[in-house]
Amino acid sequence: MFTNMKPTPNRWQTISNKKVYENPWLIVEEDQVINPSGNPGIYGKVLFKNKAIAIIPVDQNDYTWIVGQYRYALKQYSWEIPMGGVPLEEDILLGAQRELKEETGITAGKWTQLLTIHTSNSVTDELGYTFLAENLILGAPQFDDTEDIQIKRLPFSKVVDLVMTEVITDSISVASILKLARIKGL
C-alpha cells in the first residue's frame, strides 16, 4: 500500500471567473488566477452538465458488447463500451441501466460499480462511472436520434486485445476494460 499519498494544499488563487460559452451539455469558463508560483495567469475550464456513465455487459460465456460510432469532435470512428451522459441530479445506476438498454437493448439482473474516473482533470470537471452488468437479457436497442451505432459481441479477452492494440482509445473504455481485466486476472 502507498504510505505517502497526502494531498498538498491548494495554492491556486482565483481572482475572477467568467462564463464564456454555454450549451445544453457544457459550460466553458475562464478564470483569472494566481498560479502556485505566485504569477498571474488564465485558466480555461469545461464544466459538464452530465456525469459520464459507461457499462461493460458480460454474459455467462465471458462475452461482452462494444459499440462503434463516429465521434464528431475527434473526426474519427470510435469503438468503446456502451456509455452516455446522465444529468448531475440523476442516480448513476438508473442512468447506466437506461444507457445500456438504449445502446445495446440489453438489461441486466446484476450491477456492480467498477470505476470512478476523472476523464481529463486538467481542463474539465467531468466525472465518470463504470458498471459491470451481468445476468443479461437481450433486447432491441433504442438509439437516440444523434446515434448511428454498430454493436459487436466479442469475447472479453478480445476486447482487452483491442485496448492493447489501440483500436479502443476512449479513456473511460480503456480504464474500465483494463480494470476488469485485472479483476479477472487477465
pLDDT tens digits for the chain (186 residues)?
Answer: 567 778 888 999 999 999 999 999 999 999 999 999 999 999 999 999 999 999 999 999 999 999 999 999 899 999 999 999 999 999 999 999 999 999 999 999 999 999 999 988 999 999 999 999 999 999 998 887 777 889 999 999 999 999 999 999 999 999 999 999 999 998
Domain with 19 in it: 13-47
Q: What CATH number did the domain enclosing 119 receive? A: 3.90.79.10
Considering the domain boundaries, does residue 8 fall inside one? no
Q: What is the reported pTM?
A: 0.90
- Report the first-to-last Cα separation within the chain, whole angstroms: 22
Q: Are residues 40 and 62 in the same domain?
A: no
Q: Are residues 41 and 54 in the same domain?
A: no
Considering the domain boundaries, does residue 7 fall inside one? no
Q: Are residues 57 and 141 in the same domain?
A: yes
Q: Are residues 23 and 100 in the same domain?
A: no
Q: Are residues 33 and 116 in the same domain?
A: no
Question: What does the CA dihedral 108, 105, 76, 166 come to, rounded to 10 degrees?
Answer: 40
Give the pLDDT confidence score for residue 89 in this predicted structure.
94
Four-residue CA torsion sign, 71, 101, 144, 140: positive
Q: Are residues 110 and 170 in the same domain?
A: yes
Cα 176 from chain centroid (whole Å): 9
Considering the domain boundaries, does residue 5 fall inside one? no
Q: Are residues 56 and 31 in the same domain?
A: no
Q: Are residues 69 and 28 in the same domain?
A: no
Q: Are residues 25 and 63 in the same domain?
A: no
Considering the domain boundaries, does residue 3 fall inside one? no
Q: Which of these, 135, 173, 167, lies nearest to 59 by C-alpha position?
A: 135
Considering the domain boundaries, does residue 119 fall inside one? yes
Q: Are residues 167 and 138 in the same domain?
A: yes
Q: Are residues 167 and 122 in the same domain?
A: yes
Give the pLDDT confidence score for residue 2 in this predicted structure.
63
Q: Are residues 34 and 99 in the same domain?
A: no
Considering the domain boundaries, does residue 145 fall inside one? yes
Report how many domains make up the chain: 2
